[in-house]
Chain A
Amino acid sequence: MYRRDLLKFSSLLLGGAVSSSVSRALVAAAPIHSGLVRTIFNQDQQASVALLSEMIIPTTDTPGAVEAGVPDFIATIVSEWYNITERQLFFRGLDALDDYCLSVDGKSFRETSDVTRLEALRRQEQDAIEFHVQQASVDARPSDENPPFFDQIKELVVVGYYASEVGAREELSYLPMPGHYDGDYDFSKVGRQWTS
């Protein structure tokens, strides 16, 4: 059921230009939205979230965010865990991505080229960096300003991915039952951070 939805969705989303790693990940056998979580995202928003997830933690020699189920995690958090303000900021961020892409080539974040999509996210990242510089300069005065969208989406993808079974086991190294302690262990033997 979900796979059929996925394929339909992928073709709808990507049209003919299926070449980037993002696209490859989307057609891989992994859920964009499993249908198992309650979500307030519409299909376009869910597609944007899947694209963003994969841009932040892409499929490389290990699975990326989509295969790890991050879009479902984000749908759950935004739908059930976020408060109204956070939710509004999140949707405003998705809209801003669309607005930028539309201004460049008349296509939405989902429909535009990989290059434009990347630039749209980089601009969000730059906004976040400037926000933090500004925050740091106002003499520790507490700010009522809300976190930038880039911080939101990055936090969601990172927590969604590294605490997922795929992220914990396949990208990092998961050691639930070490059995002993060695405080002088060669990193080369594991090659990855431990899942915390």
Chain B
Amino acid sequence: MSTIQFDAIVVGSGVSGGWAAKELTEKGLKVLMLDRGRMVEHGTDYTGEHMPPWKTPFHGKPLRELYAEEYPVQSTQYAFSETTRHFYNNDKNNPYIDQGKDFVWYRAGVVGGKSLLWGRQVYRWSDLDFEANKKDGHGVDWPIRYKDIAPWYSHVEKFIGVSGQAENLPHLPDGEFLPPMEMNVMEKAFKARLEQNYDDRILTMGRAAVLTQPHNGRAACHYCGPCQRGCSAGAYFSTQSSTLPAARATGNLTLKSDAVVEGIDYDPETRRASGVRVIDANTMEHTTYTGKLVFLCASTVGSTQILLNSRSEQFPTGLANRSGALGHYLMDHTYRTGAAGIFPGEFNDKVVYGSRPSGVYIPRFRNVSDEDDADFLRGYNYQGRASRVGGMGHALNTPGFGADYKHGLRRPGPWRIRLSGFGECLPYKDNRMELIESKKDRYGIPQIKFHFAWHENEMKIRRDIMKQGEEMLRRAGAVNVEGFDENATGGMCIHEMGTARMGNDPMTSVLNSWNQAHDVPNLFVTDGASMTSASCVNPSLTFMALTARAVDNAVKQLKAGQI
């Protein structure tokens, strides 16, 4: 057992951790960034990148026995394949209780975390989101408003590079955009029809942390398609492509992979987090690291697990948990519901060239004005795309065999538009995670058990997503329109949030307006755990902005001698 002193310790190296490390090191602090996963170096460790289908094991057919045994949760995620498996958590080695039952916990198993695997969609939240809890009484009020975070959105966007189209919508604020990606010919037609048919709806290009022109030394997208395999050109934002090189360039960063954080020590005399207890995943050696600041960025569930497992006389139910809110108010976006339809005979002579790693977006239109007659609170957006029916599935669905079959498949099928809804989930106390003392993992850390269900409001949102989606497609001329409502287990959207929420009142929230623990001034949680509500808008950009904002304030407090 040894103790090593740093100015700041960052736990986790994903979207939030990478930002914390970059900002802290650039402000001159000596930083230790810890990740429980293996090291992945930019480029050299992207072993699935540009792998052609014929080089992929079994032509891409899943390794069923292995997945059932070791990846029963992760293998259900769309980006999981033999080209990406090396980035994912091994569910057998790192399990939770009742895997996949109440809540699906998708997690990476490498440095860079889910920033390597994410969907790259980035949207600013607005006061429609930050005021929502106060307005309808669900959850507690956010301690910040849009004006508090807006400059930090700009700060983050300028660094990561966001391609997108300005739309001047108050409830989906514009950002610092690089040129948007291009809609295809069918999407442009759908946009015109949608905006003609509805006064309250627009179609805009997806706002993506993917570069449409060179930016900060990173190359523009070359449209090969599957970003999740890693991009050695650095065209999409990840820790490896963006924040890690910046943090390393300062000379102030120590990065330790294979470092499992067991818990955080608390010193009752100084009222500070006094040490981060780490287990080496390979040697099982225990080390305690100390830092003046501790930033928890280990993902919503991961950070909360560490806090729940950090018990002391002063905090018997988990560090900084005087409120009892820790582990509760777990949220995700409702997902896997929407509508799809085809447009036979339209633009049959047109296809796309290149594989665009973003889609189109219909911003929230429900409950934006007070006059809306929706039978639910809050709202949803759609993310989708138009594409020609084709590929392996189309080949298998096409009857017949022989020369005519083969030659018939040379032409793609008709254009199809699929719209997928992302609905806001309210913060409920009974949607929660807990640690089960009697079930420990291989490090001796109690395993997590989730209790999660959609409530009536989310079910109403799901129904409306299908109904409105079908109607928009039909009115645009689609046929064979079908709503879909696939398995909707919580966690599947991978937008988990809320289990160490921010708030004004230390009796009902864990963190203050600066992502600082009310009761432990040198402890900050800046990942999804800190979110007070879920919005319907993708949250990663907000995690990044909150992190940069929290670092700025923490370092000011540190320099002023307040921490």
Contact = CB atoms under 8 A, between A and B. Distances in A.
Contact of B392 (A77, A159, A171, A175): A159
Interface string B381-425: 000000010111001100111110111011110000000000000
A196 B396 contact: no
30 contacts: A58-B402, A60-B407, A77-B61, A83-B64, A129-B399, A158-B392, A162-B392, A163-B392, A165-B52, A168-B52, A172-B410, A175-B353, A176-B224, A177-B224, A178-B222, A178-B355, A179-B222, A179-B354, A181-B181, A181-B355, A183-B184, A183-B356, A184-B185, A187-B348, A188-B349, A190-B351, A193-B388, A193-B390, A193-B411, A194-B390
Interface in B54-113: 54, 56, 58-61, 64
Contact of B54 (A154, A158, A163, A185): A163
Nearest to A178: B354
Contact of A81 (B61, B182, B187): B61
Given A182-B353, A187-B351, A171 B184 contact: no
Contact of B222 (A56, A76, A177): A177
A34 interface: no
A196 B181 CA distance: 20
Contacts of B188: 183
Contacts of A159: 59-61, 392
B58 to A, nearest CB: 6
A50 interface: no
A196 B352 CA distance: 12
Contacts of A154: 396, 401
A191 B410 CA distance: 7
Given A159-B392, A180-B353, A193 B409 contact: yes
A125 interface: yes
Contacts of A77: 58, 61
A129 to B, nearest CB: 8
A168 B52 CA distance: 9
B353 A193 contact: no
Contact of B401 (A55, A81, A164): A55
A162 B549 CA distance: 50
A154 B399 CA distance: 10
A183 B61 contact: no
B443 interface: no
A163 B185 contact: no
Nearest to A64: B406
B439 interface: no
Contacts of A194: 351, 390
B67 to A, nearest CB: 12
A73 interface: yes
A158 B53 CA distance: 13
A104 B181 CA distance: 60
A169 B97 CA distance: 46
Closest 3 CB pairs of A and B: A183-B184, A178-B354, A196-B391
B475 interface: no
B350 interface: yes
A182 B182 CA distance: 7
Contacts of A179: 222-223, 354
Interface in A143-165: 154-155, 158-160, 162-165
Given A57-B405, A188-B349, 18 more contacts: A55-B402, A81-B61, A81-B64, A159-B61, A159-B392, A162-B53, A162-B392, A164-B54, A164-B59, A175-B355, A176-B224, A177-B222, A181-B182, A186-B350, A187-B348, A191-B410, A193-B388, A194-B351
Interface of B: 50, 52-54, 56, 58-61, 64, 181-185, 187-188, 221-224, 348-356, 388, 390-392, 395-396, 399-403, 405-407, 409-412
B60 A185 contact: no
A185 B347 CA distance: 10
A157 to B, nearest CB: 8
A50 to B, nearest CB: 15
Contacts of A165: 52, 54
A179 B354 CA distance: 7
A180 B54 contact: no
Contacts of B403: 21, 58, 60
- The interface centre, meaning the residue of B54, B187, B412 with most chain A CB atoms within 10 A of its CB, is B54
Given A77-B58, A181-B354, A196 B406 contact: no
Interface of A: 21, 55-58, 60, 64, 73, 76-77, 81, 83, 121, 125, 129, 154-155, 158-160, 162-165, 168, 171-172, 174-188, 190-196
A181 B59 contact: no
A181 B401 contact: no
B405 A56 contact: yes
B410 A193 contact: yes
A180 B352 CA distance: 11
B410 to A, nearest CB: 5
Contacts of A129: 399
B103 to A, nearest CB: 25
A180 B220 CA distance: 9
Contact of A73 (B59, B392, B402): B59
Given A58-B402, A77-B58, A195-B53, A185 B353 contact: yes
Contacts of A193: 388, 390-391, 409-412
Nearest to B349: A187
- The interface centre, meaning the residue of A57, A174, A181, A188 with most chain B CB atoms within 10 A of its CB, is A181
Contacts of B406: 57-58, 60, 64, 171
Contacts of A162: 53, 392, 395
A129 B399 CA distance: 9
A109 to B, nearest CB: 15
Nearest to B212: A181
A81 B58 contact: yes
A180 B222 CA distance: 6
Nearest to A58: B403
B242 to A, nearest CB: 22
A105 B140 CA distance: 81
A181 B387 CA distance: 14
Contacts of A168: 52-54
B235 to A, nearest CB: 12
A2 B428 CA distance: 67
A171 B348 CA distance: 20
A185 B350 contact: yes
A152 B308 CA distance: 50
B482 to A, nearest CB: 15
Contacts of B407: 60
Nearest to A183: B184
A177 B221 CA distance: 10
A56 B402 contact: yes
B356 A181 contact: yes
Contacts of A172: 410
- The interface centre, meaning the residue of A57, A174, A179, A196 with most chain B CB atoms within 10 A of its CB, is A196
A172 B406 CA distance: 10
